[in-house]
Amino acid sequence: MAYYKPAPNTQWWWDNVEMLAGPAVSDMNQGCEKPVAEPIAVCPPGQWGCPAGNNSWQGGPTFVPTAAGWVGKWTNDNTCANPSLNQTSLASDQRWLQQSIVDDGTNNPVFTYPHTAMAGWLCRTLGNQQQQSCITNYHWNTCPNESSQQGQIFFQNFTQSNSPASFNLYPVDNCNGPEGVLAGTVAALQGVTGLQGVEYDMAGGGPHNQSPQCVHPH
């Protein structure tokens, strides 16, 4: 959506987009760089699209070891979040940034989708999170990862002035793993599951009697 633009004088191809747990590569530079990037507040007070009275949360955008390995292969740079490094090179920083969804403007990403409804579903808490330190004893299914913070880097680009046709950002609790938002619960929708929330957003109904965002084009 940020880079594949419609032809001039035409609308976007999608009437509705449901974005689950991410996008996890919004800023690969923040995910890879050493020293590590500062923590990010997800859905802070006043952010456009976040539920009223929402409790925000913080986390780092740094890729966990498995994800860092994947990104290192994708970008042909094995210094991504490398624990043996204290400082990544400027060349690596620039390469990661220019391969990200949100970059420094070099590739002119677009964050205005006036004809496309959008909802994001970001994991706030895990249902099976371990109590010991996930930094020193990381496990893929019982520790949070960077997906919510990376998603926040993308979603913070939407404001009232460039909002999609409909835009909601939902924190999800009790996720089944750090990206298992469909099995979690959505407090802003009276505790329905993430899967039910996505269905209501697409087809309408639910506890808030939502309007359907998916429509027949014919």
Residue 147 lies in a domain: yes
Residue (of 72, 84, 51) closest to 190 by Cα position: 51
Residue 46 lies in a domain: yes
Strand partners, 185: 173, 193
Residue 56 sits in which domain range? 16-27+39-60+111-203
Residue 195 lies in a domain: yes
For residue 198, what are the contacts with CB-CB under 8 A and spacing of at least 6?
18, 20, 119, 121, 182
Higher pLDDT residue, 138 or 94?
Answer: 94
Residue 5 lies in a domain: no
Residue 99 lies in a domain: no
Is residue 218 very low, low, confident or very high in pLDDT (cuts 50, 70, 90)? very low
Q: What average pLDDT does the structure give for the chain?
A: 90
Burial of 202 (0-12, 13-18, 19+ CB in 10 A): middle
Residue 177 lies in a domain: yes
Residue 151 lies in a domain: yes
For residue 148, what are the contacts with CB-CB under 8 A and spacing of at least 6?
21, 42, 57, 59, 122, 123, 124, 178
Number of structural domains in the chain: 1
Q: How far apart, in Å, are the Cα atoms of 42 and each of 22, 51, 111, 137, 154?
A: 12, 12, 18, 24, 11
Please state, in angstroms and rounded to a whole number, the distance separating the CA atoms of residues 108 and 34. 26
Is residue 196 very low, low, confident or very high in pLDDT (cuts 50, 70, 90)? very high
Average pLDDT over residues 18-22: 95
Residue 66 lies in a domain: no
